[in-house]
Amino acid sequence: MTADELFPAVLAGFVALCVVCKTNTRAPIPVRWIQSNSGPGTTLYACPDHAVKLGAGPTPEDVLRAP
């Protein structure tokens, strides 16, 4: 084992995986929200470069709730 394997880099703050380029970004932008039949839904994030191309999609706040 190497020192890099024993002590991996820890990224500070909120980090998410971009759905397009599959890289970690420290400035994730929510672009899609997938509703789940059981449990909470999933938010998909994109890096700032790809978020502009994808546009804003439905987020949990956009979902219409039955009265």
- Closest by Cα among 16, 64, 22, 24 to 43: 16
pLDDT value at position 61? 63
pLDDT digit string, tens, across residues 6-57:
776 766 678 899 999 999 998 999 888 888 888 888 889 999 999 888 876 6
pLDDT value at position 55? 75
pLDDT value at position 28? 92
Distances in Å between the Cα of 5 and the Cα atoms of 8, 9, 30, 65, 67 are 6, 9, 31, 46, 52
pTM as predicted: 0.65
Q: Where are the domains of the chain?
A: 18-67
Q: Please say if the pLDDT value at position 4 is more than 80.
A: no
